[in-house]
Chain A
Amino acid sequence: MFEFSLRQVALCGQQPGEEPGELAAPPSDLTAVIGTVGDQFRDSFTRLCLYLARTHDEAPQTRTDDTVVIGTEYGNTEALARLQRRAETDGRMLSAKHFPNATSSSASAFVNIGIGATGRNLTLNGGLLTPVLAIWQALLALAVDRSSISKVLIGDVYSPEALLDAGLASHGLRCRSGLTHATFARGTEFRAEFDFTPDDDETAAPGGRIGSVPSEDRNGAFVTAEFLTSIRTLEVGEQAVLTCRGPLARRGVLTVTRQTIDTADHGGRGE
């Protein structure tokens, strides 16, 4: 059981019906927020992570002990593929600046640098259970006094290769690019309880659901944003439940209960 306060939730993503892939209309202030230096090397996933991390929160002027957890299935795949292709075409002229942007955790690196976060940081892939697992790791950092602020970035910007891979086991879910950024703080506003017990029903449909309402999206960004937005409207004592199911009965359930409406209380601890 963890206690926390929720500072903000933001979603940036494709609309239903858009052709999966790059965002047709990236945020209009993207360049103003993250600049263009190194843009030829970084991919859309890193850009969007950095944009959300810098936009929807107070920008600290110094390094902090904040924790950053990135939950993603495909992360920086676009940059990984690009490095391989550029080596073929550029040969010995290949720029050394590609590589730092083309690791599986490049987005995490540039977010941590971009906001000066020195706490726990990890890039996590839990398949369809990624939202629940990423939030668990983020709240853990608060509960053990590792950080007073813990951020999650959950989602994917699908490269062509990622779409092919996702298509191997689509589970009837649609792929649309999007990323959710949420900031958790120490506090007692909410109580979070997790259950990772395997599902009794091995035939249960994989994917996320809020209460009994299933999400149509594979990308956990959308169900995460909807869930975290919904808990803000809970009355004291009310609960909301996010369930993420994967194949082979794997399951993660997050139940959030509103305990107080006092968001100024930052003294909460996990048990």
Chain B
Amino acid sequence: MNRAARIFVTGLGVISPAGAGTAPFWDDLCAARNRFTDLTPLYPGMKEGMLGGRVPKDAWDIALEQVREQTRARPRAASVFAEYAALEALRDAGLERGDDLVRDAVVCIGTSDGQADALEDLVAGRRDIAETGGFSSYSVTTDVAAAVGARGPAFTTQSTCASANVAVSSAMEMLRSGVADTAVVGGCDPYSEKNIIGFSSLQTIGAQRCRPFSTDRRYVTPSEGAGVLVLQTEDALRPGQRPYAELLATAISNDAGHPTAPDRGGVEACHRRALAEAGITADDVDAIFAHGTGSRANDTVEGGIFTELYPRAAVTAIKGTVGHLMGAAGAAGAVASCLTMRHRLVPPTAVDPEEVEGGLNLVTGAPLALPRLRYVQSNAFGFGGNNAISIFRNVA
């Protein structure tokens, strides 16, 4: 096992409430522009007017046009999102479907709700199992593998809202171990009735949009989409490829504390582990894409850690703009981190400067230019005490 093997991000793809592709995603992030809409109540007693982020119809149509024929014939949202993002990432890396580098690639997609529409339709009696196409979470990854023409190891990781970062970590370790030299990795989650019901029962979603790290924060704004990265070892890089960043580490840990509430000690331990695995200190980190859900509990824990351990880092949280992509949240953060490396700009958090909780170095207003940007950190945490943190290095 070559632990010293360097891993590079060479391609990015994303679909989100901002639209299909990295361009509208980056535009919305930099403008702190959200496209949240009212969610339809799903069960007797569920309040009206709760906000969510949906992939817009035109973006869905663009994605559907590009995915495999089999997926188009019987579309399941997770597969449509993930295939679209994977194909965009592949093109962005300058690779083609079935390319030599891709044929034996590791494919790993993190998702919390997987083929939610298929399972939920089956449970509600709206479609039978054959009509749904099946709901196994594995099918999300095998659909991506088929789309990019990969026959190497393929698996789905499920760690609630840390799923995508866990996928990145799992695939990265396979590259470092020599199982493959290329990976197509990321996360996706579709709109899930079960998820909306669950968050509604916890009273964590509402009519006020997500306001990360605001003193006035209250609700999470659930959304949907997918983000995918192409990872390549240094030896697999081709002439002319221009990596976005080097992936130094993705640390995984568990709080082993509470089913829903984050544990400050556990979350902090994951930060320290990520820094140790990356071989840097907190002072080296220039920018952090926070998990920043806008919930009281998460932002209190994360904000406290940033203020105490990372006083120098510029912090931003994109869930006020694109919402909480659930299992794909880490993938959206990773794509945003890599775009930040490319543009040397940290997009702002969609809150007013005067409402930022005390002492936090949160980017608000205009994007923050960081010409000497070196290290970017991307956080993803989830119910069940799941923590996963990636650290990227600038290679420009």
**A residues bordering B, Cβ < 8 Å?**
1, 63, 68, 73-75, 77, 80-81, 83-85, 87-88, 91-96, 98-106, 108-110, 112-113, 115-127, 129-130, 133, 136-137, 140, 143-144, 161, 164-165, 167-169, 194, 196-198, 248-250, 252, 270-271
Contact = CB atoms under 8 A, between A and B. Distances in A.
B361 interface: no
Nearest to A247: B142
A144 B256 CA distance: 21
Contact of B384 (A95, A100, A129): A100
25 contacts: A75-B158, A84-B124, A84-B193, A84-B194, A93-B45, A94-B197, A99-B260, A99-B383, A101-B259, A103-B112, A103-B383, A105-B386, A108-B384, A118-B255, A118-B266, A120-B253, A121-B252, A122-B159, A125-B155, A130-B155, A140-B177, A165-B135, A194-B179, A196-B153, A196-B179
B151 A250 contact: yes
Given A99-B198, A108-B159, A123-B159, A117 B1 contact: no
B160 A103 contact: yes
Contacts of B383: 99-100, 103, 109
Contacts of A77: 119, 135
Contact of B254 (A112, A127, A161, A165): A112
B152 A87 contact: no
Given A103-B160, A105-B112, A106-B259, 10 more contacts: A99-B198, A99-B260, A101-B259, A109-B259, A112-B254, A123-B159, A133-B153, A165-B135, A168-B130, A196-B180
Given A100-B260, A109-B259, A250-B154, A125 B136 contact: yes
Interface of B: 1, 3, 42-46, 104, 111-114, 119-120, 122-124, 129-130, 134-138, 141-142, 146, 151-160, 163, 166, 169-170, 173-174, 177, 179-180, 193-194, 197-199, 201-203, 252-260, 266, 269, 382-386
A113 B256 contact: yes
Interface centre among B42, B198, B260 (most CB of A within 10 A): B198
Given A84-B124, A161-B135, A96 B201 contact: yes
Contacts of A271: 1
B187 to A, nearest CB: 13
Given A113-B385, A140-B177, A105 B254 contact: no
Given A73-B136, A108-B159, A126-B153, A100 B259 contact: yes
B153 A110 contact: no
Nearest to B161: A103
A122 B202 contact: no
Nearest to B116: A80
Contacts of B179: 194, 196
A119 B386 CA distance: 10
Nearest to A103: B160
Contacts of B111: 104
B296 to A, nearest CB: 15
Contacts of B203: 96
Nearest to B110: A122
Interface centre among A87, A100, A130 (most CB of B within 10 A): A87
Nearest to B198: A99
Contacts of A120: 169, 252-253
Contact of B45 (A91, A127, A194, A270): A91
Contacts of B202: 96, 99
A102 to B, nearest CB: 7
A105 B159 contact: yes
Nearest to B137: A125
Contact of B112 (A104, A119, A133, A143): A104
Interface centre among A77, A102, A103, A136 (most CB of B within 10 A): A103
Given A108-B159, A112-B385, A102 B194 contact: yes
